[in-house]
Amino acid sequence: MRIKKAFQEEARRRLIPFITAGDPDFETTLELVGLLDEERVTAIELGVPYSDPLADGPVIQAASARALEQGMNLPRVLELAEAARNRGVTTPLVLFSYYNPILRYGSEVLMTRAAQVGIDGMIIPDLPWEEGRELSRQAAEQRVDLIPLVAPTSRERIQRIVSDAKGFVYCVSSLGTTGVRSDFDQKVDAFLDTVREASPVPIAVGFGISRRKHVDRFLEHADAAVVGSALIRMAEQRKDALTDADRREDALEEIRQFVRELADERSVSVYRT
Amino acid sequence: MSQTRAELNKGFFGEFGGSFVPPELQEVLQKLDEAFQRYKDDPDFNQELDQVLKEYVGRPSPLYFAERLSRELGGARIYLKREDLNHTGAHKINNAVGQALLAKRIGATRVIAETGAGQHGVATATACAMLGLDCIIYMGERDTQRQSLNVFRMQLLGAKVVPVTRGTRTLKDAVDVALEDLVENVDNTFYLLGSAVGPHPFPSMVRHFQSIIGREAREQILEQEGRLPDLITACVGGGSNAIGLFAPFVEDRDVQIVGAEPGGRSMNPGDHAASIAGGTPGVIHGFRCHMLQDEQGEIQPSHSIAAGLDYPGVGPEHSHLKTSGRADYVPVSDEEALEAFGRLSRTEGIIPALESAHAVAYAIRTAPQMNPDQILIVNLSGRGDKDVQQVFEMKSE
């Protein structure tokens, strides 16, 4: 329910930041979640680090590797979410995890636990919609939204995939895996419009958004913009400062400014059913 | 809804296989599957493939009765399926020419592939040279340094070798970059995968092109012995040579099937690459199979004396053959493989690849427990020239 409400609230940035949990460490991730919550983003994607991330570009892969070195894993990410809720974070939290760690944890147990710690949605990039029916049912029982991913090339399947979508639909904006790109495919607009028309829930667009002009451009065709690599790179460049008690505040402040530059808190493009 | 599930079911072997990839890649693989389905039974395509296999690869490969080895062991009659006598010295070429011909049929002008130690890269570069296709091989930078001679060999064959500098700079990263290339250049590019692994349709496609091994062996043993073998064995890393031998025998219920897995230094985590004997089911590299993973589902490091078997997953059809009880998978240690490497060289004048030596080792272990009128076929998947340096260095230490 938090996701649905967030898309309808007026004073929110139409941003969905993606951060890799545990990069550079548990505490810093918690700080970043707090900061994004204060900045009233629409939702926060918490990436579960994985050693074989098929859908990610080099920046997020490297962040995953750093987080794994810190001992971060799915159970720890759930603890992190719980800690964030205990600190008063109210922004929707969406878990982004590859399928194998979920299989290993047990999907039914995971959904129960996820709901307990305050996870609102889940994105599993390598789980095809056709294979995810059972998992989607388990998620729904716990009121966790299994967020579907759609790509411009999957035109025939768009209708099918989004028809019973919950939470929001995650649209992949450009061919290739995540990363900062300098230009975007015009065909993407038509794709987004198709999805938006077919979808009963808001749509978010991701993969490659790093600047204000990208955000502005996409918010004409989508309800929120996912920002991943660009934010992770910001944090990576400030790694030493972020893990140093004396310098942490300044580094966080720079990241805050970046988030503010990307999108205003505004009432335009609010999703209405 | 059930219909869509059925669409994907064609990529499943029991509960294994499938296609667990992000949506963009799914579309690309769908197109590849359509092309494969269109041509795999096309008479014109198969005529061209048969001709290449005969005149270029040098098929059929002999089924050789290893008389001295059999006598020394005092048990079953051991036959060797001589894939080591193929052009380029291993079974890899069967699949490389098959897929490269398919690439050409569907109008691709660029063939890309990943390679670890370099064997698959060389086979791909060879097939592309013969067919006049542009060939780009992605190889982890660290691997290009370790295998500089194979890099040169691929370049000699006209391929462009791209060192991958991201991540661990090894095979895993080369696969990532190759997949990105495929998604971006799908209009003119074909991704030639080397083993019976990966998302659908790769395991089915590789099995299709490697099954020539088992079809020939079956025909040859009927001709030479007048009956089917009692046991067939092959080494299993990803498992392409093994599925090639096994598939045509699966319906022959009296033929026992055993895969020799890389048992490494020990069966402790990190010491071996025996995914079935020492792993658990999971999803790796876009498909479901037995894999080496820790409690959190992270892929564990693997080890084998044979680079070509050093893989933390296994072809999904092998997982299915194991689970359904049709085949067994048995670990063979580095040491046993090394012994078999020497023994086959001495007794038969055949230096096997260290990979194939695992299957030979299993035969050496098992033949003495069988009767002299029983027949055992070993897939000798590759020749060992490439390993002589490594073994020399190990012996000198």
**Distance separating alpha carbons of residues B131 and B102, to the nearest angstrom:** 11
Which residues does chain B have within 8 Å of residue A55's beta carbon, measured at their own beta carbons?
22
Instruction: Please indicate, yes or no, if residue A236 is contained in any of the structural domains.
Output: yes
Which residue in A has a C-alpha nearest to residue B290's C-alpha?
A100
Q: Could you tell me the CA-to-CA distances from A12 to A16, A254, B278 in Å, in that order?
A: 11, 20, 51
A51 in B contact zone (CB under 8 Å): yes
Which residues does chain A have within 8 Å of residue B27's beta carbon, measured at their own beta carbons?
151, 153-154
User: Out of B8, B23, B286, whose CB is closest to A151?
Assistant: B23
Which residues does chain B have within 8 Å of residue A70's beta carbon, measured at their own beta carbons?
none
Q: How many CA atoms, within 13 angstroms, populate the side-chain half-sphere of residue B11? A: 31
Q: Could you tell me the CA-to-CA distances from A238 to A200, A249, A252, B288 in Å, in that order?
A: 40, 11, 9, 39
> How many angstroms from the chain centroid is the CA of residue B234?
10
Q: Give the three-state DSSP class for B381.
A: coil
**Contacts A–B by Cβ distance under 8 A:** 107
Instruction: Please indicate, yes or no, if residue A58 is contained in any of the structural domains.
Output: yes
Q: Could you confirm whether B92 is annotated as catalytic?
A: yes
User: Out of B24, B184, B282, whose CB is closest to A172?
Assistant: B24
A77 in B contact zone (CB under 8 Å): no
pLDDT at residue B116, as a whole number: 86
Q: Could you confirm whether A240 is annotated as catalytic?
A: no
Instruction: Please indicate, yes or no, if residue A122 is contained in any of the structural domains.
Output: yes
**Length of chain A as a residue count:** 273
Instruction: Please indicate, yes or no, if residue A166 is contained in any of the structural domains.
Output: no
Chain A: give the shortest CA distance to residue B188, in Å: 15
Instruction: Please indicate, yes or no, if residue A114 is contained in any of the structural domains.
Output: yes
Residue A113 clears pLDDT 90, i.e. is over it: yes
Range of the structural domain that residue A38 is part of: 12-147+223-262
Instruction: Match 């900045």 to its residue by tokens.
Output: A39
Catalytic, out of B61, B81, B92, B348: B92
Q: For every one of its 397 residues, what pLDDT tens digit does chain B have, with 9 covering 90 and above?
A: 334 444 455 799 999 999 999 888 888 898 899 999 999 999 999 999 999 999 999 999 999 999 999 999 999 999 999 999 999 999 999 999 999 999 999 999 999 999 988 999 999 999 999 999 999 999 999 889 888 999 999 999 999 999 999 877 888 888 888 988 988 888 899 999 999 999 999 999 999 999 999 999 999 999 999 999 999 999 999 999 999 999 999 999 999 999 999 999 999 999 999 999 999 999 999 999 999 999 999 999 999 999 999 999 999 999 999 999 999 999 999 999 999 999 999 999 999 999 999 999 999 999 999 999 999 999 999 999 999 999 999 988 8
Which residue in B has a C-alpha nearest to residue A170's C-alpha?
B23
CATH number of the domain encompassing residue A81:
3.20.20.70
Q: Could you confirm whether B225 is annotated as catalytic?
A: no
Structural domains in chain B plus CATH codes: 13-53+91-201 (3.40.50.1100), 60-89+210-396 (3.40.50.1100)
**Distance separating alpha carbons of residues B27 and B180, to the nearest angstrom:** 13
Q: How far apart are the first and last CA of chain B?
A: 61
B224 in A contact zone (CB under 8 Å): no
Instruction: Please indicate, yes or no, if residue A189 is contained in any of the structural domains.
Output: no
Contact status, residue B192 vs residue B124, Cβ threshold 8 Å: yes
Query: Strand A15-20 vs strand A224-227: parallel, antiparallel, or unpaired?
Result: parallel
Strands (DSSP E) found in B247-314: 256-264, 280-284, 287-291
Which residues does chain A have within 8 Å of residue B290's beta carbon, measured at their own beta carbons?
none
Average pLDDT over residues A23-44: 96
B179 in A contact zone (CB under 8 Å): yes
pLDDT at residue B175, as a whole number: 86
Which residues does chain A have within 8 Å of residue B293's beta carbon, measured at their own beta carbons?
100, 104
Assign A135 a pLDDT band (cuts: 50, 70, 90). very high
A185 in B contact zone (CB under 8 Å): no
Which residue in B has a C-alpha nearest to residue A55's C-alpha?
B22
The pTM score is 0.93
A159 in B contact zone (CB under 8 Å): no
Residues in B 296-355 with any Cβ partner in A closer than 8 A: 296-299
Instruction: Please indicate, yes or no, if residue A2 is contained in any of the structural domains.
Output: no
Contact status, residue B144 vs residue B161, Cβ threshold 8 Å: yes
B44 in A contact zone (CB under 8 Å): no
Overall number of domains in chain A: 1
Q: What angle do helix axes B202-210 and B23-39 make, rounded to 10 degrees?
A: 30
Chain A: give the shortest CA distance to residue B288, in Å: 9
Instruction: Please indicate, yes or no, if residue A227 is contained in any of the structural domains.
Output: yes
Q: Give the three-state DSSP class for B111.
A: strand
What are B189's two structure tokens? 């590019």
Which residues does chain A have within 8 Å of residue B283's beta carbon, measured at their own beta carbons?
98-100, 103, 126
B7 in A contact zone (CB under 8 Å): yes
